Each structure stands twice: as C-alpha cells, then as structure tokens.
Amino acid sequence: MTAQEYAFITVAVIGSISAVAVVTARNVVHAALYLVVTLSTVGITFLLLGAEFVGWVQILIYVGAIVILFLFGLMLTKAPIGRDTLDNQQRWLGAVVGLAIFVGLVSLVNRAFPFSDTGATPALPGTTGVVGDELFRHYVLPFEAVSFLLLAALIGAIVLARKEEGD
Amino acid sequence: MIRLPMVLVFAALLFSAGVYGVLARRNAVMVLMAIELMLNAVNVNLVAFASYLQDMTGQIFSLFVISVAAAEVGIGLAIVILLFRNRASINVDEVSLLKW
C-alpha cells in the first residue's frame, strides 16, 4: 500500500458515504451540498490518478457551475421537504436494483482485475500542456462539435426558460 | 500508484447510488443529481483506465463527458422550471400528459 492508496481510500470512503447521502437525503438543499462533497472527492481522485487538468476542470465545472445551477433550480421550484414527497413508492425496488448492480459490477471487476493483483501502474501525468497537445492534435473535430453543442444548449435553455411576451 | 480495482469499486458504488436515485426519487431535480452521479462514475472509470493503459484518450474523453453533462444540466433545469411554471409540480410521476 502506498501513501496515494491510503489517501485514495480515505477520499473514496468520504465520497461513497456522501453519494449515498445524496440519494437518501430528506432535504433537497442537503442533497445538493452532499453532491458538492461527492464531486470534490471525485476531483481529488482524478488528481491522485495524475489527471491534473481533468481534476481541476471537475472542481471548477461541477462544484463551481453545475451545483450552483442545481441550487438555482431548487430555489426556483420551491421543492418540498420530506421522504414521502421526495421518494416514490418503488423505493425498495430501486434499492434492490441498485444493490444488484453494485454486487454485479464488483464481481465483474474482481473477475477482470483480481483484487489480489498487486501490480500498480504509475500515474499518467495529465498536465494542461499534455492534455491540450493531445486534444488539438487528434480531437479537434469532436472539440468543435462539443463547443457547438454547448452553444445550442445555451440558446435552448434561454428559449425554454424565458417568459413569453404578455405572460 | 493506485491499484485499478480500488478505483473501479468506487466508481461502481457511485454508479449504483445514481441508479437508486433515478429509480427512487420523485423530484425531477433530484433525478438530475442522480444522473450526475452516474456520469461521474463513468468519468472515474475513464480516468482510471487512462492511467492503467498509459493512454491519454481516457482523460480527453472524460473532458467531453463533463461538457456534455454541463449542457444536459442546463437544458434539464430549463425544462424543470418550465414544468414547474405550467404544472406547479416537478414530481416526475405526475407528468403523465404524454402517457397513453
């Protein structure tokens, strides 16, 4: 076990607990705040894996922008509080399906990459320079497509959410 | 130097929490949050395999996933606000106008 693995286990335990709290919290604002913790731990995981640029993008875009959007959405829709209004009647069925997917994925991972396997690869340094080099050398067209998609989503969101004249 | 299976188990837990959230929540904003959890699980897998295979493609692809997720949240919340304005409720099981 290396120091990075101990750090990762700590971060992953915090992230897992708050991920479960996101989907079980009775207060919507608490769920959004738990989401901040989970997304930050995912960002720290990226940093520990060496993906420096993706880690900071995760923290900037997710924690900085997407969670703020969620909080605006919650405030504008006056969401009610309480288990009966937040969850539907298939809660237990959902828990069974979620648990089955978790057990299935873990057994699949164990079969493909055994937990007893001690070989670890060194982290791949994903600094801004390396990522930008790769992005603009091989993925220019997808990059432009994504920028067009973001523009379309921006215009679409404005058109959908604005009030009509005379409303 | 983090072993791959540990990261994959973390991602599996995030994904199954997201699946539970999508199935169990009535509030549309909470469903969107659970979808974000699932997308994050995918990103964790992509970055972990990028490190495992020593290939930058995984990290690049996770950047694309992050931008598409941002677009999805923007449109999704606009639809939720429109829904609230028209029906005064964002419970997904009450939005059955198009259901046969």
Q: Are B20 and A23 in contact (CB under 8 A)?
A: yes
Is pLDDT of A97 > 60? yes
The tens digit of pLDDT for each residue in B3-60 reads 888 899 999 999 999 999 999 988 888 999 999 999 999 999 999 999 888 888 999 9
Over the stretch A134-160, which tens digit does the pLDDT of each residue have?
Answer: 899 999 999 999 999 999 999 999 998
Residues 6+ apart with CB under 8 A from B47: A45, A46, A49, A51, A54, B58, B59, B62
- The CATH class of the A3-126 domain is mainly alpha
Size of interface A-B (CB pairs under 8 A): 261
User: Mean pLDDT for chain B?
Assistant: 89
Residue A167 pLDDT greater than 60, yes or no: no
Q: What is the pLDDT of residues A77-93, one digit of tens each?
A: 876 666 666 777 788 89
Q: Where along chain A do its domains lie?
A: 3-126, 127-167
Q: B34–A23: do the CB atoms touch at under 8 Å? A: yes
Q: Chain B residues with CB inside 8 Å of A156's CB?
A: 74-75, 78
Read off the pLDDT band of B62 (50, 70, 90).
very high
Residue A71 CB partners (closer than 8 Å, separation 6+): A29, A32
Look at the domain B4-94 and name its fold. Answer: Helix Hairpins (1.10.287)
Interface predicted TM-score (ipTM) of this complex, two decimals: 0.91
CA separation for the pair B22, B34 (Å, rounded): 6
* Chain B residue nearest residue A44, CA to CA: B44
Residue extents of the structural domains in chain B: 4-94
pLDDT of the residue at B35:
94
Contact at CB, A77 and B23, closer than 8 angstroms? no
Q: What pLDDT does A53 receive? A: 93
> H helices of A25-139, where?
28-48, 52-57, 67-77, 83-86, 91-112, 128-138
**Any residues with CB less than 8 A from the CB of A114 and at least 6 apart, and which?**
B5
CB spacing of B3 vs A119 below 8 angstroms = yes
Chain-chain contact of A16 with B80 (C-beta, under 8 angstroms): no
One-letter-per-residue 3-state SS of A108-147 = HHHHHCCCCCCCCCCCCCCCHHHHHHHHHHHCHHHHHHHH
